[in-house]
Amino acid sequence: AVRGTNTATPPDTLPKLRARLLANENPLGIAPSAKEALVKAADIGNRYAWMEFAQLKQLIAADEGVSPKNIMMSPGSSDILMAAATHFAKGGGTILTSAMTYDDLLERAQKQGAKIVAVPMTKEYTYDLAAIKARITPDVKLVYIVNPNNPTGTVVPAADLEAFCREVAPKVPVFLDEAYIDFYEPADRPKLGKLVAEGQNVILARTFSKIHGFAGLRLGYAIAKPELLMAMKPYTNGEFAVSITTLMAGIASYQDKDWQNHCRAENAKARAFTTKALTDMGYDVIPSAANFILFPIRMKTKAFENQMFANGIGIQTRDFSGQPYCRVSVGTMDEMAMFMDGFKKVVG
Ligand code: PLP
């Protein structure tokens, strides 16, 4: 397979873990300001959330340089990914992407009858934008790019991504999955809302599951021109699948820059600690800009994963072209120390 095989889909009931480092969740929880907003929202749980949708869309639109009409809210970004897969793959055709990337949209598109073309990554484990561009044919219905990428944690420079979109989007819609964009330092982030404002065929997918810690609360959104949002909408669960509690917490968290900065800084610290500890043991860690780390391991995936779980450490494993890899989410410093202890025990 060009894409990896995921051998570690979390089971319905997870064993009791000391460190849950398998789903790129925020180990620090939700912002105290978001918790306060959740409690307040309980008092208006009997009301439909019209005002709150408008308020959050306005905040996002102002930051992104788009209109609220360019935003569609969703219970997590998965809903947007699945809707895009169904819409763009419904007549067959090809979805063009990179090897070693996030599979959910691709698997759904394949089920709808689309063919997936996954272009090899560069030697640095980054998206090879030039090679992807060279593979565009009239059969390609969508280009899917994950940046920062999961599971490699790598990024493409903002300027390269913008140039790529300007060249490709007039021919084929480009879907940018930016689930991990909040882990970029704000000044370095690609700011591609402007392409949407210009009317380009670009869809940005965002989630509150990562830096905001809303994986369980469920909140995400798409930014695109209204025609594209309308085309995907019939395949979503609809905006009202988002509860007023989640929305009000989302509004608080979105404005809580201090909490986001705190989470980003803590993540960077724990990521640097783990990268160094693994590198010191002779492992080739792929430099990550996100809240997880991928590195090649010297054991078979299933055996490694089982032994890590037996030690109370939840991680994920992947095989890419026969090479086993471990993907470990960045937890707290304590959790990363536990991970390193467990890892040393397991690899001997
Ligand atoms: N996109 C990427 C790249 C992800 O890694 C994830 C989740 O891990 C998602 C989208 C979907 O997350 P959610 O539905 O929680 O927003």
pLDDT tens-digit profile of 287-345? Answer: 999 999 999 999 999 999 999 999 999 999 999 999 999 999 999 999 999 999 999 99
Q: What residue type is 212 in one-letter code?
A: H
Please give the number of the atom of ligand 1 that sits closest to the Cα of 220: 16
The C-alpha atoms of residue 47 and residue 75 are separated, in whole angstroms, by: 18
Pocket of ligand 1 (CB under 6 A): 24, 76-78, 81, 102, 146, 150, 177, 179, 207, 209, 215, 220
What whole-number distance in Å separates Cα of residue 157 and Cα of residue 41?
A: 39
From 255, 270, 285, the end of a domain falls on 255
Same domain, 292 and 250: no
* pLDDT tens digits along 89-104: 998 999 999 999 999 9
Same-domain status, 170 and 282 = no
Q: What predicted TM-score, i.e. pTM, was given to this entire model?
A: 0.96
Compute, in angstroms, the gap from residue 276 CA to the centroid of ligand 1: 27
Q: How does DSSP classify residue 68? A: G
Is residue 164 located within the same domain as residue 61? yes
Ligand 1 centroid to residue 166 C-alpha, Å = 25
**CA-76 nearest atom, ligand 1:** 16
Shared domain for 275 and 312, answered yes or no, is: yes
Which residue puts its alpha carbon closest to atom 2 of ligand 1? 179
CA–CA distance, 94 with 141 (Å, rounded to integer): 6
SS3 state at 160: helix
Which is nearest to 184 in space by CA: 233, 221, 222, 149?
149
Q: Are residues 135 and 164 in the same domain?
A: yes
Q: Write down the pLDDT at residue 201.
A: 98
The answer on 268 and 248 residing in a single domain is: no
Structure tokens at 328: 């470990």
Q: Which domain holds residue 109?
A: 32-255
What are residue 105's phi and psi, to 5 degrees? -65, -40
216 CA to centre of ligand 1 in angstroms: 12
Cα of 36 from ligand 1 centre, angstroms: 25
Identify whether residues 222 and 279 lie together within a single domain.
no
Respond yes or no on whether ipTM tops 0.90. yes
